[in-house]
Amino acid sequence: MPLGFLLGFLATFGEPAVRVLSDQIERTSTGSIRKSVVLYTISSGVALFVALGMARIIYGIPLMYIVVPGYILAMVLLWPSDKTTICIAYDAGGVATGPMAVTFLLAITVGIASAMEGRDPVTDGFGLIALIALAPILSIMILGLIVRIKLRKKEG
């Protein structure tokens, strides 16, 4: 699981599309959200969910036990979030599942699932992609709430 965390972080951190998105967010926010913060937020979120995906494969946790609560949380986070943050968060979910994550992390999880008795490599491997898509949505929406709270404190 720690290896999954590290590989998830590095694969996302090295993803060119995530870097482009981070740069665009910094420009759109007129510098109030730095691209390094966005890059580390997305990478950390994906890393956490890759580690969770590895735990899911090792312990046989059904994918729905993670995905359904994750998307319920994403829907709950819609209410306090502004429209721009919501758009960025869902775009980040698509960007994080780029070529680096899909080819590199999918191959590793399929390999781990293949080596474990009673696991389906295809289901477990592609389940990880669902988690990778969910991670940036949650992490960016949480970041957006933190930024919003800090701006309110600064103004008030």
Q: Which residues contact 37 (CB under 8 A, 6 or more apart)?
A: 143
Tokens of 88: 């960025």
pLDDT of residue 9: 94
- pLDDT, one tens digit per residue, over 6-54 is 999 999 999 999 999 999 989 987 877 899 999 999 999 999 999 999 9
Q: What are the residue boundaries of the structural domains of the chain, listed by start?
A: 2-155
Q: What is the tens place of the pLDDT at every residue in 60-76?
A: 899 999 999 999 999 99
Question: pTM of the full predicted structure?
Answer: 0.89
